[in-house]
Amino acid sequence: MNIESFVFNPFMENTYLAYDDTLECVIVDAGCLTVKEREKLRHAIEEKKLIVKHVINTHLHLDHVFGNGFVFHTFGVEPEAHAADEFLLDQLPAQSAVFGVPFNEKPQPIGHYLNDEDIISFGHSTLKTIHVPGHSPGSLCFYNDKDRILFAGDVLFRGSIGRTDLPKGNYDQLISGIQKRLLTLPDNTLVYTGHGDSTTIGLEKRENPYL
């Protein structure tokens, strides 16, 4: 599986393109906000002649969904996310205003709900959903067993974990979910995070002070 990453919007959110030799791809967390950011994502997809099969959200906090409407109108693919986070879309305009981020678009509705252990297929590749609430109630991670790749969103970071002081966050739930659902993955699993640098499961087991 090939991975291309982008850092978008004032929150420095990581958006990912994952694709294989069939050129079918998924977009993980379309956070592109400005015209320049959106054109950068579009150009990467069109330059490689990729076919967008899924737009999947690890969760629905504002910085991870800014580009969902753009992707839908450009590629005709609706976002997929966990239903427990849907309430966050209603808060998107107000939250954008609180953070001083100009976003006047109507939030793009979820087109398909994802649940724990769903399988997302594209080309010859698959991603399995892992529901790890706590940062948000609907936080999902996406795991590819063949290549040992995990898209962790804001659940797990290099040397840290997702914040739990946002609406419906839960610290104990997050720690329990990470320990039971993520740290049981192979140590050499490469973790692509929602912000900052990538890491591995083994590194976080050894060095993460929260775990």
- Average of per-residue pLDDT across 93-114: 93
Q: Is the pLDDT of residue 87 over 90?
A: yes
Q: How confident is the model at residue 124 (pLDDT cuts 50, 70, 90)?
A: very high
Task: Outline where the chain has alpha helix (H).
Answer: 35-47, 68-75, 87-90, 92-98, 171-177, 201-207
Compute and round to an integer the Cα radius of gyration of the chain: 16
Average pLDDT value for the chain: 97
Percent of the chain exceeding pLDDT 90 equals: 96
Q: How confident is the model at residue 59 (pLDDT cuts 50, 70, 90)?
A: very high
Domains and CATH numbers, the chain: 2-207 (3.60.15.10)
Q: How confident is the model at residue 112 (pLDDT cuts 50, 70, 90)?
A: very high
Q: Is the pLDDT of residue 121 over 90?
A: yes
Q: How confident is the model at residue 43 (pLDDT cuts 50, 70, 90)?
A: very high
Q: Is the pLDDT of residue 102 over 90?
A: no
- Do 38 and 11 touch, CB atoms closer than 8 A? no
Q: How confident is the model at residue 75 (pLDDT cuts 50, 70, 90)?
A: very high
- Do 150 and 133 touch, CB atoms closer than 8 A? no
16 token code pair: 């990912």
pLDDT score recorded for residue 108: 97
Q: Give the separation between CA 147 and CA 56, rounded to whole angstroms.
A: 19
Q: Give the separation between CA 68 and CA 27, rounded to whole angstroms.
A: 10
- Give the dihedral of Cα atoms 141, 144, 145, 151; nearest 10 deg: -40
- Average of per-residue pLDDT across 31-47: 98
Q: Is the pLDDT of residue 41 over 90?
A: yes
Containing H/E element for 3? strand 2-8
Which tens digit of pLDDT belongs to each residue from 135-184? 999 999 999 999 999 999 999 999 999 999 999 999 999 999 999 999 99
Q: Is the pLDDT of residue 104 over 90?
A: no
pLDDT score recorded for residue 101: 93
Q: Give the separation between CA 174 and CA 165, rounded to whole angstroms.
A: 12
pTM above 0.95, yes or no: yes
User: What are the CA-CA distances from residue 51 to residues 41, 47, 100, 105, 174 (Å)?
Assistant: 13, 11, 34, 25, 34
3-class DSSP state of 93: helix
162 token code pair: 């997702």
Phi and psi at 26, nearest 5°, equal -120, 150
